[in-house]
Copies of this chain bind each other. A is one copy, B any other.
Amino acid sequence: MDKVRIGSVGLGRLGLRHAENIAAKIQNAELVALCDVDNAKLTETADRLGVKHRFASFEEMLSLSDMDAVVLVSPSALHTKQIAAALAAGKHIFSEKPLGVTVAECKEAEKAVEAHPNLVFMLGFMRRFDESYQYAHQKVSAGEIGKPVLFRAYSQDPEKFIQGAIAFAPHSGGQFLDMAVHDIDLARWFTDSEPETIYAVGGCYAHPEFAQYKDGDNVSCLMKFKNDCMVFLFAGRTAPHGYNIETEIIGTKGTLRIASVPQKNFVEILDAYGVRRECSENFLERFSSAYVNEMQEFVDCIITGRKPAVSVYDGTKVSEIAYACKASFEQGTLLKF
C-alpha cells in the first residue's frame, strides 16, 4: 500500500485536529471520509479539507470500499462497538482512549482485535509520541538514571474549563478514568511494570458539583509497582496557571523531569508579575506535534505491516488500573492488584 485512505469519525476539538492532521501533515495518508451527526460542522470541515465522502452514520461509512482505515474520535461509549464493526469491515483502526467504558468492554475489544491479526489496531496514548517523553524514555531505557525509584505524574486542567468538566461529569467516569489514564499509561511505559497496591484519595476542594458523581475535582493515588517502583499520580481540574502535564522519574542514578515548567513556548516575560513563563493552554497546544507523530506511526504501521507500540492490551490494563484507583478513592481502602 502506497497511501492509506482514512475515514475519521467525530468532529469535536480533538476529532477536528486529527482530521486536519491527516489532511495536511501525515505522509502517505489521505483523508477520504468524515463522519459526524452535526451536518453543518461535517459539511464545513469536509469542504475546507477537501474531503469527498461525508457520513452521518458510522455504519454507512464502513461500507465505503476505497477506505483502508478508520480513526475513532467518537463518544467513549461507542468505542467498543465501533471497533468491532470496523474490524469486521476489514478496516485498520486508530481509536482514541478509552478502549471501552468498562473492563468487560475492553476485553471484548481485545477479542475483536485478536480475531483480526492482519489489521492494525492502535490506541491514542499520544504522550508516548511527544518528543520530550520519547527523549526521556530513551534515557530511562538506556539505564541512564539507574533503577526507577519514584514515578510522579501530574495532569492538571485549567480552572477556566471547569464548566465544561462539570457538564461532562455524569459521563466522564471520574477523574481517574478521564484524566489519569494517560499517566497510568506513562507509568507502565516508563517502569515496564504493573501495580501491586493502590491507595487513592481526593475530594471536591473548589467544586462540590463533582461529589454527586462520586468524583472529586482533585485526586491522587500512590501505588507500589511489582518492580518496587513507587508511583504517585495527581489529577486536578482547578489549575489557575494553565494545562500542566508534568512527569518525573527519579532513579538511583539520576532524575528526569518532563515539563516541570509547563511553558507555552520559549518566551520568558519580565514585568510587574516577576520573571515568568506563560503556560500551555490545553492538550491541543501542548501535544500538537505528538498528535501528528502518533497518526504518522499509525499510517507507517499499516504500510509496513509493523505492530504499533501501543496495543489493545495496554488499553485494557490502563482501564483496569483506573477502575481500581476509582474504587480505592470511593471506598477509602488500600487495594491489592
Q: Which residues of A contact B (CB under 8 A)?
A: 24-25, 27, 131-132, 135-136, 139, 145-147, 149-150, 197, 199, 201-203, 205-206, 218, 220-222, 224, 228, 230, 232, 234, 236, 238-242, 244, 250, 252-279, 332-334
Contact = CB atoms under 8 A, between A and B. Distances in A.
Contacts of A254: 240-241, 269-272
Given A262-B275, A267-B135, A275-B263, A228 B203 contact: yes
A241 B265 contact: no
Contact of A132 (B150, B201, B267): B267
A275 B205 CA distance: 22
Contact of A149 (B27, B205, B250): B205
Nearest to A251: B205
Contact of A236 (B132, B149, B206): B149
A150 B220 contact: yes
Given A197-B332, A275-B279, A276-B273, A265 B132 contact: yes
Residue among A224, A253, A276 facing the most chain B CB atoms (10 A cut-off) = A276
A247 to B, nearest CB: 10
A274 B242 contact: yes
A205 B222 contact: no
Given A220-B222, A230-B201, A256 B260 contact: no
Given A132-B267, A244-B270, A255-B271, 9 more contacts: A149-B205, A150-B218, A197-B201, A199-B334, A206-B252, A239-B255, A241-B254, A262-B275, A334-B334
A147 B205 contact: yes
Copies of this chain present: 4
B275 A267 contact: no
B218 A221 contact: no
A238 to B, nearest CB: 5
Contact of A268 (B24, B252, B256, B265): B256
Contacts of A277: 274-276
Residue among A259, A270, A275, A334 facing the most chain B CB atoms (10 A cut-off) = A270
A29 to B, nearest CB: 11
Nearest to A26: B24
A275 B272 contact: no
24 contacts: A136-B267, A149-B205, A150-B218, A197-B332, A201-B224, A201-B230, A203-B228, A220-B230, A222-B222, A222-B232, A238-B252, A239-B270, A240-B271, A241-B273, A242-B274, A253-B271, A256-B269, A259-B266, A260-B268, A274-B276, A274-B277, A275-B279, A276-B276, A333-B334
